[in-house]
Structure 1
Amino acid sequence: MAGPALIVFSDLDGTLLDHDTYDWSPARPALERLKALAIPLVLTSSKTRAEMDDLRAQMGNHHPFIVENGAATVIPGDYFAPGPEQVSCLGAGRGEILEHLRLLRSQGFRFIGFADMTDAEVAGHTGLDPEGARRARDRIATEPLLWQGQPSELEQFRRALESEGLQLLSGGRFLHVMGQFDKADAMAQLVQRYRSAWPEEDWQTVALGDSPNDQAMLAGADLAVVMAGPGASRITLPSGHRVIRSQQPGPVGWNQCVLEILERYGYQ
């Protein structure tokens, strides 16, 4: 591919996907425009590899993608250079995370994670069908959970995780336990791959997200798009950072913002 100057990194739930229905079809015009211009759209989500594979197939997306809030990047085979698909993990594995969570539960912290749930229970909490729930539970290096303790105990739980080299991020529906990495780390890793593969291009990055777990990614992009939604008011970006705030939530707002950005960057 000829390297375009723009790379778009997009969160999914509540951003490109409708928060309640997971529908992305209102964004189809902007998606088709990106495809026609050969601008990479890097899907960046708390979703698992299995979930992302299915969604990418539906969208016809063949670019690298980021799973589990930055736990891993997946680069399709023959993308940057001839060779097989590459999966790069950035943090602690799920087994290690679950061991720490078992210890914290024994200390009295109350929560329920995906590892504690059946496929049917995950489906009930997420609105996914049973097969979608199975894919959501197939994780590499993170554990989503629902907090069942007192709100006042949550900060103590967070500090206990941090003492073990882990962190707790708030997503659209769940808290996410993971290593000390985030979407911004994975984004930076992929941007460097683009710059190394096509050094003649002046790469510019756009990131779209709607919740606090997107904040680092938004701050790390040349242009941030904060999507309308319940988490938008909790996103704080550095003073002077280039930012757009969508008027509409989900794929409707995503479509409007991406088309506006393409016009702003001079794509005809």
Structure 2
Amino acid sequence: MFHPQRKRPLPPHPQTVAVVTAPQGAAWGDIQRTLTQRYPGLRVLLSPATVQGRQAAGSIASAIARVQRDGRAEVVILARGGGASEDLECFNDERVVRAIATCTIPIIAGIGHQRDETLADLAADAVAHTPTAAAQMAVPTLASLYQQHRDRVAALQTAVERRFLYIRSHLERLRQRLEKLPQTSVSLQRANQKCQMLRQQLAAIDPHAVLQRGYAVVRLPDGAIVRQANTITPGQKLLIRFGDGQAKVIVTEIITPSQPPTSK
């Protein structure tokens, strides 16, 4: 029941706090005053108990169980003001220790003075050796919450400004690239014009286009092109390629530029 691993964490911003103490004791007044100053608007529930005498142990255990059944509290303060060691004996009772250990709600023990220590302190999830210190441990100050909020707002504003500067820089780089696009377009236009000119040149020397204009290609049976008349002989078979087809011919006569054709 005293092992550190079973200690439960305290809620950082509780909205409801239960207090187990004597309603007529000074501890209850100190706790109310401290909670009101630190965290205005907090809901405080009192589970009254006898904190001294023979009936105290059973009363404290019952008060803790009452808070457990109610279920509204997020943290419990078990408190008693200072006194003689005999007055705090009820906090060493097994019933109180077991009630603290089995409670599902975190419990802060604020019993006696700094020098006092009880088994209830060892079983509690957190220990503050006075009721006032227990109240301070239970809730943060509203001023600190306001400061945390301001810090978060400042951090968010800084992050937004950094993001804005990054986006503005990125847009500036894009703008500079867009300004260069006209020059790129001129270069692209010139390249297209050059490609068109080369395309026209290729079309002009295309052999098929030449044939379409009325020229023909003369080939030997083995496919070699005949380029000179003196390389063929009468009776030789040739293949003539036109723009729209081919013709097979037999050479009957070789005519040179200085020799007129024979009339037959």
Structure-1-length-normalised TM-score = 0.32
Q: Per residue, is there more helix in 1 or in 2?
A: 2
Which structure's residues are more often strand, by fraction? 1
- Flag the structure with more relative contact order, 1 or 2, with Cα contacts below 8 A and sequence separation at least 6: 1
Name which one, 1 or 2, has greater alpha-carbon Rg: 2
